[in-house]
Amino acid sequence: MLKKKNKGNSETAENAAEVNNENGQIDGQEETTETPAADNGPSAEEKHKEELSLANDKYLRLYAEFDNFRRRTIKEREEARKTEGKDIIVALLPVLDDFERALRAMDNATEVTSVKEGVTLIQSKLKNILAQKGLKEMQSIGNAFDPDLHEAITSVPAPGDDMKGKVIDEMEKGYELNERVVRFAKVIVGA
């Protein structure tokens, strides 16, 4: 009986070999879980490490580029701040030259009217240069008091009812630069 059992075991082994042959495997070869592509190329972990190093390199380069941009922008702003008033100063130099000529002429002048005319010409030249740069005088006398444009120094009794709450006199002119108030007019308001 023992011999029959061994024969039965060998028969089951032969049957198992036949089943394996039907699945397409060669006798005596075990099934492997690894794919042949894994042996040829890098593993998934290696791919991720490589992608990470590339992303890290790209990040560092981008950060360095941004840092250089930031430094360059700061430097350009500082240079612009140093020379931002250059154009107005260059435009005012002829007026300064005119004042120097007027002072020299005043030493030898015998008539006041000629000196007065010279100073008036210099003032008009200065006003024209500033007007070209966007400076404009505000007209206040006779207008209603506006705290956005005027600074009230004092109030006096109005000469008539129509001047109540209006500007009667102007102590200092107000100026606008490109439609923005740069100096409020100092005024006297009628009460």
pLDDT at 98 exceeding the cut of 60 = yes
pLDDT at 174 exceeding the cut of 70 = yes
Span 46-53, average pLDDT = 93
Q: Between these two residues, 33 and 102, which has the higher pLDDT value?
A: 102
pLDDT at 155 exceeding the cut of 50 = yes
Q: How far is Cα 128 from Cα 122, in angstroms, rounded to an integer?
A: 10
DSSP-assigned states of every residue in 87-110: HHHHHHHHHHHHHHHHHHHHHH--
Length of the chain, in residues: 191
Q: How far is Cα 49 from Cα 41, in angstroms, rounded to an integer?
A: 14
**Collapsed DSSP state (helix, strand, coil) of residue 28:** coil
* Both tokens assigned to 106: 């005043």
CB distance 168 to 152 below 8 Å: no
Domains detected in the chain: 136-191 (2.30.22.10)
Which 8-state DSSP code applies to residue 54? Answer: H
Angle at CA 181, nearest 5°, toward 140 and 128? 80
